[in-house]
């Protein structure tokens, strides 16, 4: 169990880096997908001249953006600069899209730039800083771009070819749906970003550049399994479950925030069968209908999925059929399970670990998770309705926590140790099980009410 936790933590750390690279650039991916959907040869309004823009974006802009962002995360602005230079060597040395390689070379080169700067800083005489900084960035950029061209590019090409061959074999033999047996449980344990941004997105982009669309963009982002599960809770759960599941259903389906249904499965692990069967059914339907998307729909909302669906009624019918079939299967299994355990269904409450009098409150989680921001909004509304307008309440990714010496932090129990290590001097760190439906919010508001009354009596 200890080793599994360590492995899980390492995978999440990798997923966090990948997410931090991809999420700031999602707008570029969607813009590329929309341009492709409109102006490519199979688009709504084919235009060969504008389609060249689509090709250039996919080949150059997207990999450079990813690598530059990764370089900035590990090495600041100089790391971003050198990572962009190195990525050009990678692009020139690769046959297919350099997205996967860019997600590797960006953080690595940024880290190398930071190590180089740290090592040389104490040896540089005053007045030579600018010269040395420019020369080291130029030299490291030259070396890493050549290394990317001659070494990394052939390795990434080979690895991508192996993955694409395996994916094609699964597709031809109608076994691609089996990937959801791994994807759905991994999503529930918040590894969805690592899977989608680290594997499916780069492979799907290669396929989309070659054929105009890719089914891989639908494997993890299909909202059907979550919609079916939440719909069953909204109709057949107890009163509290119906109340929260209905709101979560709208957020999940239209907002694309899949994390809102993860706590339901984590609380009742038997429901893994529900989302797995729903995911397998949806992917099987997509595969049989030979449909896919132009680009990665992030967030995985019905709205973005339909926007990135290639033109033609067949494609729209196939995509909608896959979502509906996965919804129906997930709903049926969850509803049957709820009917069987309904007399035993109870909401477990967990005591808050701390009570805070700090006016700075943060709800935090991994970058790319939408639920912490929704949780912050829920807590904000609860405090406002109780008359507590003095709180400065924000939502921040864990890796950006700073100046929190006098802040109260709400975080999912999975990330408690990470937050404690990053901000050991926070005013209070409160562990919760669910960002959207947790008694800790009400407990926090109640404590503030009691504190206000106590202060009022002293006056």
- Using one digit for the tens of pLDDT, what is the confidence trace for 369-384? 667 888 888 888 888 8
Mean pLDDT score across all residues of the chain: 82
DSSP for residue 260: G
The closest alpha carbon to 285, from 249, 329, 228, 231, belongs to 329
**For residue 225, what pLDDT is reported?**
95
Residue range 164-206, pLDDT digits in tens: 788 778 877 778 888 889 888 888 766 666 677 767 888 888 8
**For residue 94, what pLDDT is reported?**
86
DSSP for residue 176: G
**For residue 354, what pLDDT is reported?**
38
DSSP for residue 152: I
The closest alpha carbon to 71, from 120, 19, 112, 117, belongs to 112
pLDDT beyond 90 at 358: no
Max alpha carbon distance in the chain (Å)?
77
pLDDT beyond 60 at 458: no
Residue 52 to residue 276: CA distance in whole angstroms? 40
When pLDDT is cut at 50, 70 and 90, the band that residue 9 belongs to is low
CA 120, distance to chain mean position in Å, is 36
Residues 6+ apart with CB under 8 A from 425: 404, 405
**For residue 151, what pLDDT is reported?**
94
Q: What mean pLDDT is predicted for residues 307-336?
A: 94
Q: What mean pLDDT is predicted for residues 128-157?
A: 92
Instruction: Please tell me which residue, 397 or 286, carries the higher pLDDT value.
Output: 286
Residue 206 to residue 13: CA distance in whole angstroms? 25
In the chain the domains, ranked by start, together with CATH numbers, are: 47-172 (no CATH), 202-343 (no CATH), 360-458 (3.40.50.2300)
Residue 47 to residue 50: CA distance in whole angstroms? 6
DSSP for residue 414: G
What is each CA distance from 161 to 155, 165, 202, 207, 210, in whole angstroms?
10, 6, 12, 11, 13
Three-state secondary-structure class, residue 11: helix
Beta 392-397 vs 407-412: how paired, if at all? unpaired
pLDDT beyond 90 at 223: yes
**For residue 348, what pLDDT is reported?**
37
DSSP for residue 310: P
Residue range 298-315, pLDDT digits in tens: 778 899 899 899 888 999
pLDDT beyond 70 at 349: no
């Amino acid at each position: 169990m200890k080793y599994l936790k360590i492995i899980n933590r390492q995978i999440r750390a990798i997923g966090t880096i990948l997410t931090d690279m991809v999420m700031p650039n999602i707008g570029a991916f969607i813009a590329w997908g929309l341009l492709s959907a409109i102006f490519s040869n199979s688009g709504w309004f084919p235009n060969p001249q504008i389609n060249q823009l689509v090709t250039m974006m996919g080949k150059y802009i997207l990999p450079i953006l990813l690598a530059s962002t990764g370089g900035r995360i590990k090495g600041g602005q100089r790391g971003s600069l050198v990572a962009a230079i190195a990525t050009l060597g990678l692009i020139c040395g690769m046959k297919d899209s350099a997205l996967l390689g860019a997600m590797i070379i960006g953080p690595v080169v940024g880290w190398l730039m930071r190590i180089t700067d740290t090592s040389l800083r104490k040896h540089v005489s005053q007045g030579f800083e600018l010269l040395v900084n420019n020369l080291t960035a130029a030299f490291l950029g030259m070396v890493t771009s050549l290394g990317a061209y001659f070494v990394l590019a052939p390795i990434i090409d080979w690895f991508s070819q192996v993955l694409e061959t395996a994916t094609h074999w699964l597709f031809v033999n109608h076994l691609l749906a089996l990937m959801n047996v791994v994807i759905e449980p991994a999503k529930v344990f918040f590894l969805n970003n690592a899977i989608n941004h680290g594997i499916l997105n780069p492979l799907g982009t290669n396929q989309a550049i070659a054929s105009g669309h890719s089914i891989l963009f639908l494997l993890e982002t299909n909202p059907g399994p979550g919609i079916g599960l939440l719909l069953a809770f909204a109709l057949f759960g107890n009163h509290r479950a119906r109340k929260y599941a209905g709101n979560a259903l709208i957020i999940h389906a239209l907002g694309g925030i899949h994390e809102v249904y993860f706590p339901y499965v984590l609380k009742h692990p038997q429901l893994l069968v529900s989302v797995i069967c729903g995911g397998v059914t949806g992917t099987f339907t997509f595969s049989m209908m030979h449909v896919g998307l132009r680009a990665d729909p992030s967030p995985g909302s019905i709205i973005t999925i339909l926007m990135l669906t290639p033109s033609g009624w067949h494609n729209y019918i196939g995509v909608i059929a896959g979502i509906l079939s996965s919804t129906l299967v997930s709903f049926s299994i969850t509803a049957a399970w709820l009917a069987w355990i309904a007399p035993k269904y109870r909401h477990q409450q967990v005591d808050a670990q701390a009570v805070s009098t700090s006016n700075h409150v943060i709800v935090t989680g991994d970058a790319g998770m939408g639920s912490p921001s929704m949780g912050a909004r829920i807590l904000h509304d609860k405090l406002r309705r109780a008359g507590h307008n003095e709180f400065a309440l924000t939502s921040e990714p864990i890796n950006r926590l700073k100046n929190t010496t006098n802040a109260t932090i709400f975080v999912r129990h999975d990330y408690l140790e990470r937050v404690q290590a990053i901000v050991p001097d926070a005013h209070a760190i409160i562990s919760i099980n669910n960002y959207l439906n947790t008694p800790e919010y009400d407990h926090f508001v109640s404590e503030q009410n009691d504190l206000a009354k106590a202060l009022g009596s002293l006056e």
